[in-house]
Amino acid sequence: MVLFQDLAAVSADAADWFHVITSATRAGEVATAEHALLITIQCQNACGHAQEPSVNYMRYYFGCAMCDRGEYDKAFRQLEELRLCYEHLSNTDEEFLRLN
């Protein structure tokens, strides 16, 4: 986890920060993972959401990881954020939703 944090600290790439999210979650460092998610969202906002993985993808996997850890309130918070995003979409094609 520390290696990913050190690499991400000098990066504005969402994928680098996503590695921090996943490694911190696996290490039980939930606060670090949540902080990395916020930084990842800032990276995506700064680049016009042109990077991969998308914010929704990260929220989904972070929420699943929180559920696996028994952190149901945190998992539900991510689900709620996804709901807010997806309820405003007019395109509900499965492929479009999978990519966003």
pLDDT (0 to 100) of residue 22: 92
The tokens describing 12, both together, are 């504005």
The tokens describing 46, both together, are 């700064």
pLDDT (0 to 100) of residue 96: 59
Q: Is the pLDDT of residue 81 over 90?
A: yes
Domain span at residue 75 reads: 2-99
Q: What tens digit of pLDDT does each residue of 31-64 get? A: 999 999 999 999 999 989 888 999 999 999 999 9
CB 15 within 8 A of CB 27: no
- The pLDDT mean for the chain works out to 87
Q: How many domains does the chain have?
A: 1
Q: What is the pTM of this model?
A: 0.81
Task: Tell me the CA end-to-end span of the chain in Å, nearest whole number.
Answer: 27
